[in-house]
């Protein structure tokens, strides 16, 4: 059985494969160390859809018994997600680092009005059984949807949601709140949603770095204050 070890805040993940395991790594250059028979790694060209979505030409198929280290971008973590047969989560493909052999992928076209704003035309549905390696900024959080009570998620933080969920773009809160927030996904339905938690708030970072109180207030209150006041 495949074993994935991804220590928090270390910047790498270790993957151990038994002889019956095989996975496909979508970013082969992230493989910084490999231990096993050389023939157990086989690089292949991706299909045209994969080339477009990942902006990569090559993927690596790695068979066990072997082990290897994946180098991760700064501030990112890798989570191995079990995907059942008939799984219905729609993933942003840019977060997928690897998947186990035997899994099925299907493209799902997004609504035009949603894709126009988010520049996200296609999401991927994976069906198992298998494991999906998800690369996220910060950590991965899981929340459960409610059929009546909307869940609002900043659009850059949403990693995956159920295909049957009702999804639209929105903001929330009073007028001041809606004017000073990024566009949100408003989601209702049943099942889990996956969220990356590493979104950055530049003003919070400025505050932690000792930026002046007056500057922060002016950026908040004045029109286009965040642009003109540095």
pLDDT at 180: 78
Range in 14-18, 26-30, 178-182, 204-208 the model is least confident about: 204-208
Confidence of residue 201 (pLDDT cuts 50, 70, 90): low
- pTM tops 0.75, yes or no: yes
pLDDT at 53: 53
Please, what is the average pLDDT of the chain?
Answer: 82
Residue that wins the pLDDT comparison between 17 and 229: 17
- Summarize pLDDT for 101-138 with one digit per residue, the tens: 988 888 887 777 666 666 667 788 998 899 999 999 88
CB 221 within 8 A of CB 165: no
pLDDT at 228: 47
Share of the chain above pLDDT 70, in %: 76
Q: Where exactly are the structural domains of the chain?
A: 140-219
- Summarize pLDDT for 167-192 with one digit per residue, the tens: 888 888 888 888 878 888 899 999 99
């Amino acid at each position: 059985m495949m074993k994935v070890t991804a220590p928090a805040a270390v910047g790498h993940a270790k993957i151990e494969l038994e002889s019956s395991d095989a996975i496909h790594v979508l970013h082969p250059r992230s493989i910084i160390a490999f231990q096993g028979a050389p023939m157990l790694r086989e690089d292949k060209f991706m299909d045209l859809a994969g080339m477009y979505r990942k902006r990569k030409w090559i993927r690596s198929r790695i068979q066990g018994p072997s082990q290897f280290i994946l180098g991760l971008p700064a501030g990112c973590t890798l989570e191995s997600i079990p995907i059942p047969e008939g799984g219905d989560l729609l993933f942003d493909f840019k977060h997928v680092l690897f998947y186990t052999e035997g899994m099925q992928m299907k493209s799902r076209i997004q609504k035009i009005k949603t894709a126009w704003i988010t520049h996200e035309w296609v999401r991927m549905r994976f069906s198992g059984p298998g494991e999906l390696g998800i690369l996220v900024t910060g950590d991965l959080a899981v929340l459960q949807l409610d059929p009546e009570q909307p869940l609002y998620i900043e659009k850059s933080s949403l990693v995956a949601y159920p295909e049957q969920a009702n999804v639209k773009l929105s903001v929330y809160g009073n007028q001041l709140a809606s004017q000073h927030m990024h566009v949100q996904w408003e989601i209702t339905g049943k099942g889990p949603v996956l969220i990356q938690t590493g979104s950055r708030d530049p003003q919070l970072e400025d505050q932690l770095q000792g930026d002046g109180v007056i500057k922060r207030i002016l950026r908040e209150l004045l029109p286009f204050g965040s642009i003109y006041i540095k």
